[in-house]
Amino acid sequence: MPRPVTLFTGQWADLPIEIMCQKAKEFGYDGLELCAWGDHMEVDKADQAYCDSRKKLLERYGLQLFAISNHLVGQCVCDLIDERHKSILPNYIWGDGDPEGVRQRAAAEMIKTGETAKRLGLDTVIGFTGSPIWHLLYSFPPTPKKMIDDGFAEFARRWKPILDAYQELGVRFALEVHPTEIAFDIATARRALEALDHHPAFGFNYDPSHLGYQGVHYVQFLYEFADRIFHVHMKDVYWSRSCREVGVFGGHTEFGDIRRYWDFRSIGRGRIDFESIIRALNHIGYNGPLSIEWEDSGMDREAGARESCKFTKEIDFKPSDIAFDDAMQK
Taking only the tens place, the pLDDT of each residue in 45-64 is 999 999 999 999 999 999 99
What does each C-alpha distance from 42 to 65, 70, 300 come to in angstroms? Answer: 15, 10, 27
CA dihedral of 234, 239, 241, 246, whole degrees rounded to 10: -170
Residue 123's Cβ-count burial label (10 Å; 0-12, 13-18, 19+) is: middle
Q: Which domains does the chain have, with CATH numbers?
A: 5-328 (3.20.20.150)
Taking only the tens place, the pLDDT of each residue in 96-134 is 999 999 999 999 999 999 999 999 999 999 999 999 999
Residue 309's Cβ-count burial label (10 Å; 0-12, 13-18, 19+) is: buried
- In this prediction the pTM is 0.96
> Comparing 270 with 318, which gets the higher pLDDT?
270
Compute the C-alpha angle 308/57/119, nearest 5°. 100
Q: Using an 8 Å Cβ cutoff, are 280 and 224 in contact? A: no
What is the amino acid identity at position 292?
I
pLDDT reported for residue 243: 87
Taking only the tens place, the pLDDT of each residue in 246-283 is 999 999 999 999 999 999 999 999 999 999 999 999 99
Lowest mean pLDDT among 28-42, 187-201, 206-220, 238-252: 238-252
Band of the pLDDT at 320, cuts 50, 70, 90? confident
User: Which contiguous run of DSSP H or E holds residue 307?
Assistant: helix 301-315
